[in-house]
């Protein structure tokens, strides 16, 4: 079968962090519909408002992408790109319910010859062995003949202005050679043809899973050595600074691993390993180490605050700076800062959290936590914990940091606990106990 991309209509299914920018980018080259079940999200996008703050109003308003919450509007399309969430459940098992539901809905509207590309992060086999049969059942068409499956993992990194859709290599795969070539052409329009055609769909699925698991494990190693080095009275940042002068030292840094990719995808890989009878020891211990960093950081803060009693803790105030899962974005999904906050609260401390990017309503809704959007004035904290490396915090001067703490009012020195070592070069002139991981 030969395809003529210019004559094909495209539907992007799921307009979140991945789907919406993809739909808008593809709309520059042809007819594109953006479909989402969330009516509020669709109305916002129609109004030119992206609550994820990925695209500016002017870009959205000038896009020819047609946003809709009515699946019948996309029944006429030829290519469907599925970008719905693939989370884990409370037992850290992959939860495929959303991608299965989206597949069932698509199965009811697809026609012979259509191409269905999955971009959601999955484990090897989900596209062909789980989604394919659902599409077959609902459409009455045969996978690989009546409709063609494709997979193209998404690599965007929110908040990263260097590695963008226009310049990162995109991996693609499909059930037929012709469809794979079509994917090369489709995605190649957006990044100057910077496409890697993977051997087959399972290979493409696995490539995404191992990319994120590798990152998770590398950070886990840094977190493990941090715990060891801290026990020796050393700062891991000082040690890493020295070690990274070696040409082949991998410059990962310790910290909290949250969000919906690095902290989730390794569980997808682990599940597929377990399904075939292999115990994925490294992958799961990496997850375990990284998931324990929030409580560990809280323990360190408690140690440096040196509170002698519970009553003493109840009188101490801590300000946590940053709540999102990474710097300079507003995404709070699976943020591990909550573990630091909750552990400190469980010790009895009073904890305030500031974040200028996170949406307060969402934080209350998801975590039951009220956050400050402006830095507190006139309040003196016993500890300031810099948890997320937002630019606004990177730019703070010593004086601005010191106004947040009661440095000159008490004989007990306040603590500045700097998870990312952002303020390492600041001169606090002995007014505080300055500690990093
Ligand atoms: N966000 C990232 O940085 C990133 C990076 C790489 C890969 N991924 C992967 O991409 C996928 C999507 O992630 P995201 O961050 O964009 O998710 P998201 O939660 O931001 O957006 C998903 C959207 O899908 C919609 N949706 C849910 N069910 C639907 C259905 N049946 N039909 C149509 N729309 C539906 C939701 O309403 C939501 O708007 C996930 O598998 C994720 O792991 C995300």
**Separation of alpha carbons 125 and 131, rounded Å:** 9
Give the pLDDT confidence score for residue 106 in this predicted structure: 98
Q: What is the pLDDT of residues 44-75, one digit of tens each?
A: 999 999 998 888 899 999 999 999 999 999 99
- Residue 311 scores a pLDDT above 80: no
Give the pLDDT confidence score for residue 115 in this predicted structure: 98
Mean pLDDT of 187-197: 96
- Measured in Å, residue 12 CA sits from the centre of ligand 1 at 11
Annotated domain spans of the chain: 5-198, 209-290, 292-436
Give the pLDDT confidence score for residue 410 in this predicted structure: 56
Mean pLDDT of 133-154: 98
Pocket test for ligand 1, best of 11, 12, 36 (most atoms within 8 A of CB): 36
Is 292-436 the same fold as 209-290? no
- Beta-carbon-side half-sphere exposure of residue 184 (alpha carbons within 13 Å): 11
Name the least confident of 108-122, 270-284, 285-299, 411-425.
411-425
Mean pLDDT of 310-315: 84
**Separation of alpha carbons 174 and 154, rounded Å:** 15
Q: What is the mean pLDDT of the chain?
A: 95
Determine whether the shortest distance from the Cβ of 414 to ligand 1 is under 6 A: no
Q: Tokens 């440096």 belong to which residue? A: 304
> Which residues 6+ apart lie within 8 Å of 430 measured at CB?
none
- Residue 32 scores a pLDDT above 80: yes
- Residue 411 scores a pLDDT above 70: no
Top-level CATH class of 5-198?
A: alpha beta
Nearest C-alpha neighbor of 268 from the set 337, 341, 207: 207
Query: What CATH number was assigned to the domain covering residues 209-290?
Result: 1.10.1040.10
Q: What is the pLDDT of residues 210-248, one digit of tens each?
A: 999 999 999 999 999 999 999 999 999 999 999 999 999
**Model pTM above 0.85:** yes
Determine whether the shortest distance from the Cβ of 330 to ligand 1 is under 6 A: no
Instruction: Classify residue 76 as left (phi > 0), alpha (psi -120 to 50) or beta.
Output: alpha
Give the pLDDT confidence score for residue 407 in this predicted structure: 52
The strand pairing partners of 41, in sequence order, are none
383 labelled catalytic:
no
The protein residue whose alpha carbon is closest to atom 21 in ligand 1 is: 16
Instruction: Classify residue 96 as left (phi > 0), alpha (psi -120 to 50) or beta.
Output: alpha
Using an 8 Å Cβ cutoff, are 127 and 154 in contact?
no
Give the pLDDT confidence score for residue 279 in this predicted structure: 97
Nearest C-alpha neighbor of 420 from the set 404, 401, 436, 400: 436
> Which residues 6+ apart lie within 8 Å of 395 measured at CB?
none
Structure tokens at 100: 């299965």
| Interior angle at CA 214, CA 224 and CA 322, nearest 5 | 65
Q: What is the pLDDT of residues 158-174, one digit of tens each?
A: 778 788 888 899 999 99
Determine whether the shortest distance from the Cβ of 74 to ligand 1 is under 6 A: no
The dihedrals phi and psi of 81, each to the nearest 5 degrees, come to -115, 120
Contacts 24+ apart (CB under 8 A), 94-100: 94/122, 94/123, 94/267, 94/268, 94/271, 96/122, 96/126, 96/130, 99/126, 99/130, 99/131, 100/130, 100/131, 100/134
- Measured in Å, residue 19 CA sits from the centre of ligand 1 at 7
More confident call, 412 vs 353: 353
Give the pLDDT confidence score for residue 408 in this predicted structure: 52
Q: What is the pLDDT of residues 346-374, one digit of tens each?
A: 999 999 999 999 999 999 999 999 999 99
Determine whether the shortest distance from the Cβ of 34 to ligand 1 is under 6 A: no
Atom from ligand 1 closest to the CA of residue 121: 41
**Separation of alpha carbons 279 and 283, rounded Å:** 9
Pick the CATH number of 292-436 from 3.40.50.1100, 3.40.50.2300, 3.40.50.720, 1.10.10.10: 3.40.50.720
Structure tokens at 336: 């591990």
The dihedrals phi and psi of 364, each to the nearest 5 degrees, come to -65, -45
């Amino acid at each position: 079968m030969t395809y003529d991309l210019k004559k094909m209509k495209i539907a992007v299914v799921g307009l979140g962090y991945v789907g919406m920018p993809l739909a808008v980018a593809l709309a520059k080259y042809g007819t594109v519909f953006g479909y989402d079940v969330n009516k509020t999200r669709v109305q916002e996008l129609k109004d030119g408002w992206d609550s994820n703050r990925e695209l500016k109003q002017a870009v959205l308003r000038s896009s020819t992408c047609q946003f809709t919450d009515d699946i019948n509007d996309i029944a006429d399309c030829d290519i469907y790109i599925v970008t719905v969430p693939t989370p884990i459940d409370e037992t850290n098992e992959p939860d495929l319910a959303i991608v299965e539901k989206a597949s069932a809905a698509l199965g009811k509207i697809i026609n012979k010859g259509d191409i269905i590309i999955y971009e959601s992060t999955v484990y090897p086999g989900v596209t062909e062995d789980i989604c394919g049969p659902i599409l077959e059942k609902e459409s009455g068409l045969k996978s690989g003949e009546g409709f063609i499956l494709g997979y193209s993992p998404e690599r965007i990194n929110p908040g990263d202005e260097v590695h963008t859709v226009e310049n990162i290599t995109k991996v693609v795969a499909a059930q037929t050679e012709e469809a794979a070539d079509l994917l090369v052409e489709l995605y190649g329009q957006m990044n100057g043809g910077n496409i890697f055609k993977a051997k087959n769909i399972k290979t493409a699925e696995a490539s995404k899973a191992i990319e994120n698991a590798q990152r998770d494990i590398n950070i886990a190693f840094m977190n493990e050595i941090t715990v060891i080095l801290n026990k020796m009275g050393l700062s891991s940042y000082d040690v890493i600074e020295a070690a990274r002068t070696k040409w082949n030292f991998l410059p990962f840094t310790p910290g909290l691993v949250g969000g919906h990719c690095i902290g989730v995808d390794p569980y997808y890989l682990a599940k597929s390993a377990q399904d075939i009878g292999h115990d994925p020891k490294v992958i799961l211990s990496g997850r375990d180490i990284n998931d324990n960093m929030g409580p560990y950081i809280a323990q360190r803060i408690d140690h440096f605050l040196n509170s002698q009693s519970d009553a003493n803790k109840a009188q101490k105030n801590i300000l946590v700076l940053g709540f999102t899962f990474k710097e300079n974005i507003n995404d709070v999904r699976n943020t591990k800062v909550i573990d630091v906050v909750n552990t400190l609260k469980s010790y009895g401390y009073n904890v305030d959290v500031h974040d200028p990017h996170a949406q307060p309503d969402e934080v209350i809704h998801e975590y039951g936590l009220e956050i400050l959007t402006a830095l507190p004035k006139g309040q003196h904290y016993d500890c300031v914990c810099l948890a997320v490396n937002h630019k606004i915090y990177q730019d703070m001067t010593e004086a601005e940091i010191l106004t947040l703490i009661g440095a000159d009012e008490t004989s007990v020195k306040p603590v500045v606990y700097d998870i990312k070592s952002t303020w390492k070069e600041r001169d606090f002139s002995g007014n505080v106990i300055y500690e990093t991981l």
